[in-house]
Structure 1
Amino acid sequence: MIAYDCDVLVIGGGIIGLSTAHAITRAAPGTSVMVLEKEPGPARHQTGRNSGVIHSGIYYRPGSLKARYAVRGAADMVKFCAEYGIPHAVTGKLIVATDRAELPRLHALVQRGRENGIPVRELGAAQIAEYEPEVRGLAAIQVSTTGTCDYVAVARQLAESSGAEIRYGAQVLRIDRRPSLGVAVRTRSGEVIRSRFLVNCAGLYCDEIARMTGDDPGMRIVPFRGEYYELARPELVQGLVYPVPDPAFPFLGVHLTRGIEGGVHVGPNAVPALAREGYGWGVIRPGELGTTLAWPGSWHIARRHWRYGAGELRRSLSKGAFTEAVRRLLPAVTEDDLVPTAAGVRAQAVLADGTLVDDFMIREGAHAVHVLNAPSPAATAALPIGREVARRTLMALGEL
């Protein structure tokens, strides 16, 4: 008889891993859950290094996981924050077209929003000033269900109220999986933890964890760094202002976000990171960079999108170029108004043919569920994602 340390072992203490642990213990109170996180606290990477936006779901293909979970997750997140007294605000946002070529894409977003059940208001150039006096554009749409919150506080609350055992400073080095015995995980400290089932919510390292279990994820994480500035004159922006996104990319472009603390974040751009936690050009991990360069999809991306990438690289290396991009929306901004602040890294799943995986990706293996693509809007959608991963986990446990 095997002595298991827990029924379910969750790898990753970001908002998705903690939401999953929370959902499992809520749905099946007798199930013992342990979360392993390599950092000394929760939400140290994607969860804690974004602009804090509660996304409405307007951008995502109707019927996709992103569309369904973002719409549902936005409402759930506001309710969760209200229940636990976590700072949040539902301010709405503007998506602004600054070039005539963007107008058809803006109109397509109106239709997509309506298909996803999201209330939108179409604005002419003069009406933009009703919401944002300093913003200029040819047309815009106002999305009332967008907001902001403190996702780190959400993650902490999920950890506290989950009933799971959370172990920080526990980096996973090896996983042994046997069909009749579940999984055994060895951490950097030498400890071995045995569990009936494993849930992989490792974010930037989710593909590596999947391969440790013996499952082929069929993708690789290619990290993209998003660089931010803080606006020295926050009074220039009242709420949230976005450009019309390019549908060829999963990135939303440089936008303006008034956070719950009153400051205004400007960004992010999207440049290749030289490490999975490469928050600056000086952070290089040759092994991780080699893994990225060895993946055929990385080269397909470079060949297919080099013009776009060159523009992003220019904005990364030149503050003046970044300012130019911001001035398309906010003409009054100057270089002196932009103060560098912490960057983030997006864990973008890429297929071998160079396809940037657009939707959330959740895959199942023997004694395991892997969350393989959960970048933005995953924080918004964390609660429904957690419930879905919990459902799959508990169904599998019932069959073991």
Structure 2
Amino acid sequence: MDSNANGGRSTMVGEMESSLERVRRQLSSTSTRHILQGPLLKRSDTLRKWNERWVILDPATGKMEYKVRRSDTTVRGIIVFDSTSTVTLSPTNFHGLPKYEGCCVYIGTPQKKEYFLCAETPSAARAWVSTLHATQLVLQAHKQAVDSLGGNGSAKLGTVATVVAVANATAIEASKEVEAAMKISLRAALGSTTNKLSKGQLDDLTIMMETLRVKDDELHQLLQDIRARDSTIREITDKLQETAEAAESAASAAHAIDEARRFLSSELERLKQDQENQVELSLLRLRESEEKSKLLAEEREHLLKERDSALQEAQMWRSELGKARGNAVILEAAVVRAEEKARVSAADADMRIKEAVSKLESAAKEKEELLALLDALKSQIQARD
């Protein structure tokens, strides 16, 4: 039963997560086309040199991509900003030329990166700033909607549709301003070229005509992009409908999760009661263990006393053994001394015996000499008689 309940809860949680993920994907893909693009002057970070760049704004990600020329396929760089970035029309003329007064745009990103841009006219600069502000609102609404579906906020999904519609309308108006600024720039360039025709050569005129043709193509492409954004708005409407359906699925999944939470609460109460019963049983076993510990402690004390008495007796026997060993050493020393005395006495007796034998031999020799002398005296006496 528990395994089935756990499986059901896992399934509901998985459905909830998949619904939230689908909503996030739909919210993050509400715009797949660039809503505003046009020429801007960008100041380089190192040399602080102003370079003309073709800038493309994407409201879904908050990125501004820029290229050297519109016809380039590779992106030269990206300006990333979000709803907390600083975007303003600067009252200071960063460029320095009088014609760019009121045309400078400042962007400060969360990464502490600063960008300085200049439009062709003040109206174009205001159009860029208003579109960037609208894009910031779109990003903020997307974030709040995702947080709301994830349980971290209270934003409504209808807010996303509103700010996206406002951003697209702002982009359309801004595109008109940018297009007008481009036309003004073309007329200024054409007037400057006409004034210099008398001094220029035929090749210069050809180059200028080609430049005008390219600019006209760019304006035509810009018009096509504006028309394409109308279809983008319709696509956004369809995607918002899908987002609402996904939100309903998420709500049902949330209800299922709430039911699972209630079931888990009852399971927790049951587990708590079981734990209390186990605690009581453990306390009873603990008391029994304490009694057994007391008995074992008493038996240990008795064994320790017996061990101490055995150690004392062993110590006594060790002392007696030491005394016996001392007496044995003394007796061995006495035996050695007696043996030494016996050897000395034997040697002295041998020496005395030898002296006695030598004296006896000397006495025998003297006796023989005396006997011989006596015999000689006797013979002399007899001879005299």
Greater RCO, 1 or 2 (C-alpha within 8 Å, sep 6+): 1
Structure that is richer in helix per residue:
2
Higher strand share: 1
TM-score (norm 2): 0.20
Q: Larger Cα Rg: Structure 1 or Structure 2?
A: 2
